[in-house]
A and B are shown apart, each in its own frame.
Chain A
Amino acid sequence: MSNVLNTIWLIPCYPLLGMGLSIFWSPGLSRRTGPRPAGYLNAFMTFLALLHSILAFAAIQNQSPEYFSVSWLDAASLQIDFEWSVSLTKTVALIVVTGLNLFAQIYAVAYLEMDWGWARFYSLLALFEAGICTLILTNSLFFSYVMLEILTLGTYLIIGYWFNQSLVVTGARDAFLTKRVGDLFLLMGVVALYPLAGTWNYQELTIWAETADLSPTAATLLSLALVAGPVGKCAQFPLHLWLDEAMEGPLPATILRNAVVVCTGAWLLILVQPIIAISPIGVTTTITIGAITAIGGSLIAIAQTDIKRILSYAVSAYLGLVFIAVGVGETQIALTLLLTYSIAMALLVMAIGNIVLSNVTQDVTLLGGLWSRRPITGLSYLVGVAAFTAVPPLGSFWTLFSLTDHLWTTQPWLAGVVLTVNGLTAFSLLRLFCLVFAGETKPMTVRSPEELWLMVLPTTVGAGFALHLPLFMANWELLPQTDNINSIPVFALMASSLVGIVSAVLVYGNNRPKLAFIPQAIKDFFAYDCYTVKAYQVTIVFVVNIVSRIIAWFDKYIVDGFVNLIGIVTMLSGQGLKYNNSGVAQFYMLSIIAGVALFGIILCFPFLV
């Protein structure tokens, strides 16, 4: 059985192989057969990876983690090892990633039926899968960074999948640059960490962090740099705009991005938590960013009309909760939250995709009255909502409960944040449900057949998985202990979900929102994402733009001008001096006489003085 664990490095290799092979079905290479085999091949490869992960999960039960290492670079005094390890948590994460990827790939077979770009799409999905699996397996901060960068590039390419649409191009640009900024700060942290700790191995870093003797400034800067990477990756305030614009990409990729890719940053954040914990300011920043994003994201989600963007802000909000959990040191809760969150979010996005494909529009105000004709999708969506928010007995309830219970005694205001976010998210998700499924039929939804089985199957299987998640969690002892439960947080949490759900149903139940009492300015403020686009434009983009224009001007006119000036002076002096060559013999005689006289004066000068 240990062969399964020794060959765990194969898991990222399956999708990598699929990525390489699917290129052959790109339209430029195979002009006759069409791109579909690329999808089948990649789904098969993902299935192999999933199988391997499940076997590894079975093999690692009751075993201590295993560590592996291969020398990657050995130059002078710097030795970088490619280190990876297997543990129970990692195999669970692998199963989630490969499983969700399998869902997304099967889903995409139907969703992209009218699309020619399967080779590109599936190879990018495979790149994501390989990158995330490597990120999970790797045991070195350095290679985590490498994987995050590769995933940033992958995000750019996959958002830019339909690159003939202008919004796709700007969205992909923003996603790349925003995540890149965070990654670059992370790189500063990673590089600064090495001279201090002497290692990038997570276990050794944890041991080092326990007794690290750093100056407060160094510790603060280090932990802020390490937080900045995940802030960009997880679409946290203020680097959150990219996730909104990333919704321009193809929907099956959104399943993966919302459910998994944004979790890569959180995964890294959980691993570097001991280092962040060295600095109190770093911890406060983590919690503050998480809280601001959680509240802001859930408020913005309520004000959106685009069905996909409602979900994308819920993503930011829930990863904000992960930030809070990491900030208060509860890494186990954060990991569990990632697990329950990913499955529920994947289910929500798949259900939304079922609606989008057959109704064309993504505007919730143009949708309505689908419940009677789309019961499977509607039920799956409801399961997703229940699994996403704190509705007992499904997944997120238990993790949110653990979090609230922990915060209730230590930092009550953070418990309030969790409760608020839970209530607001329940409200926004139910608002989406009421607008899409309840009410009257709109012109866009008059005829709305259920989708192909290839889309419905992953949705329903995902719903089943979300329903069974509490059983798995009970099996893996992830549920909170029941003997010393503080009953107030339980009821507070359930009450917040209930208030959110009931108020959404009351307000949007008959598809006619009664929110006239809220000033239009506030509605617009949240609907336009707190004017983040404007904020970027007048701050960072403006400054960088001005500075680069000034530098370009300086380069063009001052630097180039100086060099050109030398050339021009030489040319002009040649042009001017040629007139000395007057053609008059007497002038030449005069020059000779003057030269001789001057020479004589110079020679005689010592004697004259």
Chain B
Amino acid sequence: MELQLEYYLILAAGLFCIGIYGLVTSRNVVRVLMSIELLLNAVNLNLIGFSSFVDPVEIKGQVFSVFVIIVAAAESAVGLAIILAIYRNRNTVDMERFNLLKW
């Protein structure tokens, strides 16, 4: 069985779906952040898959995924900082308690 591009893409899409499910349903903020990482990894999988099958010479996708990993790390740092800031004010990491904008 030859490994094909579609399998990578479907695997990435599945990962993306799981990430979105986790993003929407989790009540813990850290887990939301982890779900976002899952999403970014699904994207990276896409980029690398496309660069291996469609653009094996210049492999621009791999460069993009390097940038994505960098930005994901930065985003996690900022995200965790924001979570800490909220936690210090509200003493909780429950997503459903952060509803100041409720109607």
Contacts and interface: CB of A to CB of B under 8 A. Distances in A.
Nearest to B96: A584
Main secondary structure of the interface of A (DSSP, over half): helix
Contacts of A593: 20, 24
A585 interface: yes
Interface residues of B, number: 14
A587 B27 CA distance: 12
B99 A584 contact: yes
A583 B101 CA distance: 5
A586 B95 contact: yes
B24 A586 contact: yes
B98 interface: yes
Interface string A567-601: 00000000000110111111101100100000000
B24 A581 contact: no
Nearest to B32: A586
Interface string A409-452: 00000000000000000000000000000000000000000000
B95 A589 contact: no
Q: Which of B26, B95, B98, B103 has the most CB of A within 10 A?
A: B103
B95 A581 contact: no
Given A589-B23, A590-B24, A584 B100 contact: no
Contacts of A584: 95-96, 98-99
B98 A585 contact: yes
Interface in A359-380: none
B103 A583 contact: yes
Interface in A153-199: none
A582 B97 CA distance: 11
A579 B25 CA distance: 19
A15 to B, nearest CB: 76
Contacts of A586: 23-26, 32, 95
Contact of B24 (A578, A582, A583, A589): A589
A159 to B, nearest CB: 66
B102 interface: yes
Contacts of B24: 586-587, 589-590, 593
Given A585-B95, A585-B98, A586-B23, A578 B32 contact: no
Contacts of B32: 586
28 contacts: A578-B103, A579-B103, A581-B101, A581-B103, A582-B99, A582-B102, A583-B98, A583-B99, A583-B100, A583-B101, A583-B102, A583-B103, A584-B95, A584-B96, A584-B98, A584-B99, A585-B95, A585-B98, A586-B23, A586-B25, A586-B26, A586-B32, A586-B95, A587-B24, A589-B24, A590-B24, A593-B20, A593-B24
Given A584-B98, A584-B99, A593-B24, 11 more contacts: A579-B103, A581-B101, A581-B102, A582-B99, A582-B103, A583-B98, A583-B101, A584-B95, A585-B98, A586-B32, A589-B24
